[in-house]
Amino acid sequence: MRNAMVSPVSLAVLLFFCLNGCNTSSTTSTVITPPGIRDSLSLGYQLFDSTVALLKSGNNVVIQSNGIPSHKSPYFGTTDSRYEADTLSGFAKNPNSIQTQSLTFRIPMNPAVATTHTNTALGPIGVALNGVPLYNQFAGPNQPLTNEIYSFDQYNGHPQQSGQYHYHVEPKYLTAKYGKSTLIGFLLDGFPVYGPMEDGALVLDGALDVYHGHFKVTAEYPNGIYHYHITATAPYINGGQYYGTPGTVTQ
């Protein structure tokens, strides 16, 4: 099986702007801009790439992204400057190519454990800090990634039929750039996703609960927070159900 894993932390102050002409005149949604970002969105949310638009709407964070990865890939056209061949042994490129998306994630700013836990679905279950969707551990309905994993590029992502690039497993570009213990993104329930290491050691599946997470202090959450971890084996990111109540994603 190809290696699978990822995580980023943007240290620069972010420019927040709406993508694709988003409406900033709404009375319920306002564009978040520095210096109020930490007070308004708090903790991990301010770490998204500057290409990702963040808005506050009531008790939710609205995240807008075009879904284009912040790294090269063989799934860009060969004449595209972002094209880079995958030279890893066993790579089997699928027939799809990366296409610009219009993704809007609406997730809780202050997540809480759910009374009834909801199953994750095929398609986006969360979003990485570079705006790329996170998917669950299945290639199709109850179909493991056993064969599909060979179509993952050198950064562990690939596009589906409509060209939506995504990660099922560790986003290696992010973990290579920022470290394997870094914050990677958030699931739709608002709880953060961290890389495959914690306290200098790999996180093992056995150390996590059935949702593939645990409660612990992190760099972004000094008072502690429930969070998911990416691991090298299924379910990779999530155990099949959200720990909290999921928000929504439109695409």
Residue type, 172: K
DSSP string, 89-156: TT----S-------EEEEEESS--B-SSPPBP-SS-SEEETTSPEE--SEEETTEESTTGGGG--TTS
Q: Which range marks the domain in which residue 214 is found?
A: 29-250
User: Are the C-beta atoms of 44 and 192 separated by less than 8 Å?
Assistant: yes
- 180-212 pLDDT, tens digit per residue, is 999 999 999 999 999 999 999 999 999 999 999
The pLDDT value recorded for residue 1 is 45
> Does residue 224 form part of some domain?
yes
Tell me: pLDDT of 55 over 90: no
Distance CA 80, CA 70 (A): 14
Of 43-52, 154-163, 187-196, 242-251, which range is least confident?
43-52
Distance CA 139, CA 168 (A): 9
> Does residue 75 form part of some domain?
yes
> Does residue 48 form part of some domain?
yes
- Burial of residue 199 (number of CB atoms within 10 Å: 0-12, 13-18, 19+): exposed
User: Are the C-beta atoms of 156 and 4 separated by less than 8 Å?
Assistant: yes
The pLDDT value recorded for residue 244 is 97
What are the backbone dihedrals phi and psi of residue 143, each rounded to the nearest 5 degrees, phi first? -105, 115
Distance CA 194, CA 215 (A): 12
Average pLDDT over residues 157-165: 98
- 118-157 pLDDT, tens digit per residue, is 999 999 999 999 999 999 999 999 999 999 999 999 999 9
Average pLDDT over residues 95-123: 96
Domain count, the chain: 1
Tell me: pLDDT of 46 over 50: yes
The pLDDT value recorded for residue 182 is 93
> Does residue 103 form part of some domain?
yes
Closest by CA to 192, choosing from 238, 150, 154, 153, is 238
Of 15-29, 45-59, 139-153, 192-206, which range is least confident?
15-29
> Does residue 8 form part of some domain?
no
Give me the torsion for CA of 132, 166, 205, 212, rounded to 10°.
60
> Does residue 9 form part of some domain?
no
Sheet holding 192-194, edge to edge: 157-159, 165-167, 133-134, 126-128, 183-187, 192-194, 225-229, 213-216
